[in-house]
């Protein structure tokens, strides 16, 4: 009965659609390639080949993932609504006995499953290979760290899927939606971090730890990195600032959850107001 609920019917269709257009394979391979390169060949940049410390590895992986996961998530979701609108199926779906929230939830579950699968596959396989070929890794610690890394990556992906939906729901055509998601990605992933770092380096008097925490909370990519780096010896620069955040992990997870629910609320609000 549950399998025939409209939300799951829509989720199943989204998963099937993504499998057919080879998105899942494509993203999985990109994540895997990236993860394996950072793990097994990352040390090459300093002129040697060795497996990194677990903390350093998670730090490197999160630094790379923070660029690629948001982009992949938004590319999966940007045409979820504007694409269906252009093809006429959104109007058709809305003529069915479905609420807009059901359509939104169904799509989020579908796309969430796709991103969760690709992230878990790539980084999970990396963890397994690391345990098989590395000698100095504690099994429990490695699995624990990677589980947390995978969980936070999924949360980051969901956040950007929802940002992609908001773009898709406000765009009038697919081409504009693509341009907007690239701008959103650029803003959240590149510009915001740069501005944050500038602010910190400028050593302006009013910038204290509280303001830094607020600035971290205002960007899911910084939250993601803080969640993975907190309490670790994470190097220098902005990473050190993120790892020194005096928030507990629970608080960071809570703020990330607020992002997810907040964006879900906004997406639903925009969808309800969207003119047909």
Q: Which chain residues interact with another protein by CB under 8 A?
A: 4, 6, 9-10, 13, 16-17, 20-21, 87-89, 91-98, 275-276
Tell me the C-alpha distance between 169 and 177, whole Å: 9
Give the residue with the Cβ less far from another protein, 103 or 162. 103
The tokens 């990195």 sit on which residue?
225
Give the residue with the Cβ less far from another protein, 94 or 178. 94
In whole angstroms, how close is the CB of 33 to another protein at the nearest point?
25
In whole angstroms, how close is the CB of 270 to another protein at the nearest point?
17
In whole angstroms, how close is the CB of 15 to another protein at the nearest point?
12
Tell me the C-alpha distance between 146 and 160, whole Å: 21
In whole angstroms, how close is the CB of 93 to another protein at the nearest point?
8
What DSSP character marks residue 232?
A: S
Residue among 182, 210, 207 at smallest CA distance from 195: 207
Backbone conformation region of residue 203, classed left if phi is above 0, alpha if psi is from -120 to 50, else beta? left
Backbone conformation region of residue 245, classed left if phi is above 0, alpha if psi is from -120 to 50, else beta? beta
Give the residue with the Cβ less far from another protein, 9 or 143. 9
Give the residue with the Cβ less far from another protein, 81 or 146. 81
């Amino acid at each position: 009965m549950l399998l025939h609920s409209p939300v799951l019917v829509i989720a199943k269709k989204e998963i099937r659609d993504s499998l057919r257009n080879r998105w899942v394979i494509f993203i999985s391979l990109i994540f895997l390639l990236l993860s394996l390169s950072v793990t097994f060949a990352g040390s090459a940049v300093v002129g040697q080949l060795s497996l990194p410390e677990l903390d350093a590895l998670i730090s490197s992986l999160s630094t790379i993932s923070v660029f690629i996961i948001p982009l992949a998530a938004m590319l999966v979701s940007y045409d979820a609504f504007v694409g269906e609108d252009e093809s006429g199926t959104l109007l058709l779906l809305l003529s069915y006995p479905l609420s807009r929230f059901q359509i939104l939830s169904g799509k989020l579950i579908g796309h969430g499953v796709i991103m969760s699968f690709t992230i878990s596959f790539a980084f999970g396989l990396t963890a397994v290979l690391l345990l098989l070929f590395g000698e100095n890794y504690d099994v429990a610690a490695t699995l624990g760290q990677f589980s947390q890394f995978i969980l936070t990556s999924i949360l980051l992906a969901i956040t950007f899927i929802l940002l992609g939906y908001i773009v898709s729901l406000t765009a009038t055509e697919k081409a504009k939606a693509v341009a907007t998601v690239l701008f959103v990605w650029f803003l959240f992933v590149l510009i915001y971090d740069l501005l944050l770092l500038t602010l910190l380096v400028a050593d302006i008097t009013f910038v204290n730890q509280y303001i830094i925490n607020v600035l971290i909370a205002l960007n899911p990519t910084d939250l993601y990195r803080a969640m993975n780096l907190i309490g670790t010896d994470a190097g220098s620069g902005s990473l050190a600032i993120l790892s020194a955040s005096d928030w507990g992990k629970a608080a960071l997870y809570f703020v990330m959850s607020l992002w997810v629910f907040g964006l879900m609320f906004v997406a639903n609000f925009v969808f309800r107001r969207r003119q047909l």
